[in-house]
Amino acid sequence: DIRARLNRVFQEQFDDEKVEISENMTAVDIEEWDSLMHIVLVVAIEKEFNVRLNASEVGKLENVGEMIKLLEERAK
């Protein structure tokens, strides 16, 4: 399940098992989610899902829900 795998990536990268992603979640919702952590997250997501995300498509994402949709499209 993409959502569960993505949630695990967030938990691992933020080193917090209590992190629960939601469709509307953005960087504002996690204090440690700054620009550097954003890059770290994208790299970890690419590794977990074996995809290559380009900066323009990542830049257009407004929340975690849109990332889930993008990963679902890539999985097809």
Alpha carbon separation from 37 to 3, 73, 75 (Å, rounded): 19, 24, 24
Q: Is 67 exposed, middle or buried (0-12, 13-18, 19+ CB in 10 A)?
A: buried
Q: Is the pTM of this model over 0.85?
A: yes
- Confidence class of residue 75 from pLDDT cuts 50, 70 and 90? confident
State what percent of residues in the chain have pLDDT above 90: 96
12-36 pLDDT per residue, tens: 999 999 999 999 999 999 999 999 9
What pLDDT is stored for residue 4 in this prediction? 98
Q: Say which DSSP state 39 is in.
A: H
Cα end-to-end distance, the chain, whole Å: 13
Average pLDDT, the chain: 96
**Is residue 76 over pLDDT 80?**
no
